[in-house]
Amino acid sequence: MAKIGNFIYLPKLHKHKIPYRGHAEKTSYERQLQFLPEDVRFCKKCVVSNQRPRIVFDEEGICGACRWVEEKFNRIDWGPRKKQFDELMNKHRSKDNKFDVVVPCSGGKDSGVIAHKLKYEYGMHPLTVTWSPLLYTTIGFQNLQNMISSGLSNHLFTPNRHLQRNISKLGFVLLGNHFEPFGRGQMCYAFHVALDLNIKLVVFGENGELEYGGSLKNKDKRGQPIEDFVELYHKGSTTDALLQFGVENGYLNEEDVKDPSLKYYSPPSTEALTKKGVEFHWYGYYHKWVPQENYYYASEHYGFKTNPEGHSESTYNKYASLDDLTDPFHYYLSYIKFGIGRATSDAAHEIREKHLTREEGVALVQRYDHIFPDKYFNDFLRYVDMTADEFWEVINAYREKRPNLWEKVNGEWRLKHRVSL
């Protein structure tokens, strides 16, 4: 996943010292942690643990995502849902060749498949909308261009990079996730585009809470209520709250928070969307969602390419989450906060869909999950404008928040619980 070009200009963000460790130790913005159980249990069917935020385990020790897959493959009659989707498309299909549906797309194996099918199978006029990654990889940008070249119109938006880096730093320190500016923009921007262009339909891929283990509150809904975004996608903290902390503590100045791009890090109000008649639907509510099948479709129909370096760092997978050079650190922070790394994330859903046995999944997790993604570590440090010592101070502050997961043995941090057969 090499960088585009030989150098990415990343000026210093701050000329003064900021107490990152102190802010990470005292932060209350990562509100998911307070709801996690002390005891650590692993699902008896896959490899995920009960430390995944909002996950539900039943009395038999099976996680909600595994139970959903059983229902998805064995009990849901997809015919009626497919008919409902046909009716939805008939309702919104443009009669005058205007864009009639917004599809957030990175160029990866999932979202591009939806847009491609909407155009070529349903006769829609999709506008694909891309929220730029923090640092593009060559393969990520190539896949986006391949997707567009298949006949899809695209709107690529790159927010103020200086502010994006500052919000990334805030996310890393206050929430243990530098990917906050990408995650928030990716989820919210499409709705702003729909409002601005008067497009009444927004279609996302899958309900991630349902498919991968999380809240079941919207299990039977066709789309995500906007009022649930902060709880389910933003770790319980609004973007405005993060920005306020940033101004008060030297990460941002008063002029920074006047930038027009900042509005795209938060969703429009329910009232604004309702007034304009904008609807939000998951494609996966109407169609059986299988990521591996999406990979095959994307490869065949728009030349999607896998990681040219082989499997991605900290996992065995070679076709998921390829767009951003800093992406491996998003998964590494998950490993630190929840004991759930990138291999666990990949293996869990592939076990559920019977692409792996649990025995194979456990072996892959034990082999890859703990590996630190050092290949682009210096690029990451330059991006967040930190030294290696400052990085590890923040990491260890989050380890200390999870004494049920981490302990020090002979001066080295060790994860207490690992999945086993």
The torsion angles phi and psi of 51, rounded to 5 degrees, stand at: -90, -5
Whether 12 is covered by a domain: the verdict is no
Res 6: pLDDT: 42
**Strand pairing of 101-104 and 126-131?**
parallel
pLDDT of residue 353: 95
In one-letter notation, the amino acid at residue 33 is L
CB 365 within 8 A of CB 79: no
- Kindly report the pTM of this predicted structure: 0.95
* Count of other CB atoms within 10 angstroms of residue 151: 12
Indicate the pairing of strand 406-409 with strand 412-415. Answer: antiparallel
Asked if residue 396 is part of any domain, the answer here is yes
Note the pLDDT tens digit of each residue in 361-377: 999 999 999 999 999 99
Determine, yes or no, domain membership for 260.
Answer: yes
Is residue 2, in this structure, part of any structural domain at all? no
Confidence of residue 14 (pLDDT cuts 50, 70, 90): confident
pLDDT at 12: 85
Instruction: Find out whether 127 and 99 touch, Cβ atoms under 8 Å.
Output: yes
The answer to whether residue 14 is domain-embedded is no
- Is 62 within 8 Å of 45 (Cβ atoms)? yes
Q: What backbone torsions phi and psi does residue 363 show, to the nearest 5 degrees?
A: -60, -40
In a domain? residue 3: no
Range of the domain at 267: 20-407
Q: What is the pLDDT of residues 185-207, one digit of tens each?
A: 999 999 999 999 999 999 999 99
Predicted confidence at residue 1, as pLDDT, reads 53
For position 145, which CATH number holds?
Answer: 3.40.50.620
Residue 418 inside a domain? The answer is no
Number of domains making up the chain: 1
Residue type, 154: N
pLDDT at position 7 over 60: no
